[in-house]
Amino acid sequence: MNNNEVKARIDELRLKIEYNSKLYYEDDAPVISDFEYDAMFRELVDLEAKYPEYDSPSSPTKRVGGVALDKFEKFTHTVQLGSLTDVFSYDELSEFVERVNVTLGKEATFSVEPKIDGLSVALVYENGIFVRGATRGDGFVGEDVTENLKTIKSIPLELKEPIPHLVVRGEVYMPRSVFDKINKKREEMGQPLFANPRNCAAGSLRQLDSKVTAERRLAIFIFNLQEGSLYMDGRAAETHTEALDRMAELGFTVLPERKTLTGFESVKAHVEYLGESRTDSAFDMDGAVIKLDDLSERTVLGDGTSTPKWAVAYKYPPEEKITKLLSVDIQVGRTGVLTPTANLAPVRLAGTTVSRATLHNLNFINERDIRIGDSVIVRKAGEIIPEIVESLKDKRDGSETVFEMPKTCPSCGHEVVRDECGDGAAYRCPSPNCPAQRARGIVHFASKGAMNIDGLGPQVVDLLIREGKIKDSSDLYTLKIEDIETLERMGRKSAENLVNAIEASKSRGLERLLYALGIRQVGEVAAETIALKMRTLEALFSATVEELMAVEDIGEITAREIVDYFADPKTRELCDRLASYGVLTDAIAEPRAETLAGLTFVLTGTLPTMSRDQASELIKKAGGKVSGSVSKKTSYVVAGEEAGSKLTKAKDLGVPVIDEAALLAMLG
């Protein structure tokens, strides 16, 4: 090919790839196979490498990710990325509309649009080219996440016109379908599930390796013009609606389902419509935004100390539905605890079909008088976990039955005992040979907080047990590639990866091993505290209740559980086998410094340079404690970007709030 033909082919490939990317990532309606798409992409990569003179910053090859950063640089917003005042009732919304009308001396026109539950960002364009992107941060300073934003297919790398300077604001979100696929895969791998699409999107956008972000298939809706001029029909856009229409023409994906309305009743009607339709939406929506449409009129209303006076966000209450409790299943956990789970008549709730909900324990059921056959109100706690709020006793017809815990274990048939720990609400199978406990125990052993064996999820564990390859966690260290590659849905490469992950887990140290053993009452924090104090696994075999109670935060119940566990001959056999296979049984961390001794920290929001797990690790190594909830006993709340209700509670209780820099200063 001559140069003209090369240039034409490159342009053709770029157009085809962008078109098919939109069909695949945004519309979820691909018209070509992955093989065809990959072939076009590889051809474009090869041509751009061979003819660098035709390279372009807006080429789709710039979206693949691969830039690994040590940390994100700070980015100062030239126009503040403010937040909105929340309203929670139509009375409050009516007051807002009336106040605006009175201030303007006329009936105002509002843009009413969905409030996407995601992460707010600013995108900067120079001469039509995307050059920089940053998170909201505190509204004034955010983090430069340009490389990660480039992986989002719905962000145009080059606008359809070379606008000299433009800054737009948008909401990065994770489509529900993508979120469901990610969580399903994590469940199969035995990894902790993401709480909701918003948290998953926020974590994905802040990955230091943009390849990870690219895999998460994030999307964006643009909802505001921050800087620059947008012209329509030869004049500057005079309204918010005109600006969004113009941005759509330039190639942005702007907010859907928005309407320009006058009068409270019209505004209320569309807010109600958005609330009713959000369950069937492709994205999570936690409210509706009502903002003055005329841009010049906004200056008349002005801004408050932290929020504009010309806009509010109406927040929807958690959605609740009525359905039928059909039956109750019993799940046997890794420690033998029997957990009742409700089987429900399927109901659509917060965007997904719900057919099961946890019932926690017998006390929970009895206190709420929940019976099989009841009509029940169900909702999603935190918009993700289904729970039964209450039973509707006035709807009973006499056919309902009172639930009773089984007398024998549904997994092994052993007689069930009432747990003496805590409030006595739990029932437990005491058999050490219970298949359900054994499988869940191995999954726990391999979990992220324990030995962190990547790829060893529940399905793989079940296969290995069913095929007779393993009986307990120590057998994992006897597995060979040929033992695994013949299993269903496995293969040579998967088998090699799993064997390598098992080998790597040998060096986790006593801190992780102690938690991995699954001793009742011993969580991650307690396991680490005990390991740092006792130093060796052998020391735990001779430890007394009194010695263990002398360890910080270890009470008598936990101490007795540990002593009883290590007094069992089967424990000695298991630990001896683990040691013989090369599993490290000594603590690897140095004894904690006392820099933060006696202080309790709560972490909230997204920190600038490290994850909350990393910050927790530093605090604990310095002798401090990390709690998941704010109370009067909390010493400090460490708040990052997009901090939530924990920050509000800290302010209400008068708990000192610090940022990451202050924490690092305390750590020295």
The residues annotated with a catalytic role in the active site are 115
- The span from the CA of 265 to the CA of 303, in Å, is 25
The gap between the terminal CA atoms of the chain, to the nearest Å, is 62
Strand partners, 231: 236
Q: Are 282 and 338 in contact (CB under 8 A)?
A: no
Q: How far is CA 270 from the centre of its chain?
A: 30
Q: Are 223 and 255 in contact (CB under 8 A)?
A: yes
Q: Is 29 exposed, middle or buried (0-12, 13-18, 19+ CB in 10 A)?
A: exposed
Strand partners, 600: 625
Q: How many residues does the chain have?
A: 668
Q: How many C-beta atoms lie closer than 10 Å to residue 602's C-beta?
A: 23
DSSP 8-state symbol, 137: T
- The span from the CA of 292 to the CA of 310, in Å, is 6
**Helices and strands: H and E segment counts in the chain:** 24, 26
3-state DSSP assignment of residue 398: coil
Helical segments of 360-480, H only:
362-367, 435-446, 458-466
Query: In sequence order, what are the residues at sequence separation of 6 or more whose Cβ sits closer than 8 angstroms to the Cβ of residue 470?
Result: 442, 461, 464, 476, 478, 479
3-state DSSP assignment of residue 660: helix
Q: Are 216 and 174 in contact (CB under 8 A)?
A: yes
What is the dihedral sign for C-alpha 566, 569, 574, 578? positive
The token pair that represents 455 in the structure block: 């790829």
Helical segments of 143-217, H only:
146-149, 176-188, 197-205, 210-215
What is the dihedral sign for C-alpha 42, 45, 47, 49? negative
- The span from the CA of 516 to the CA of 575, in Å, is 12
Q: Are 341 and 359 in contact (CB under 8 A)?
A: yes
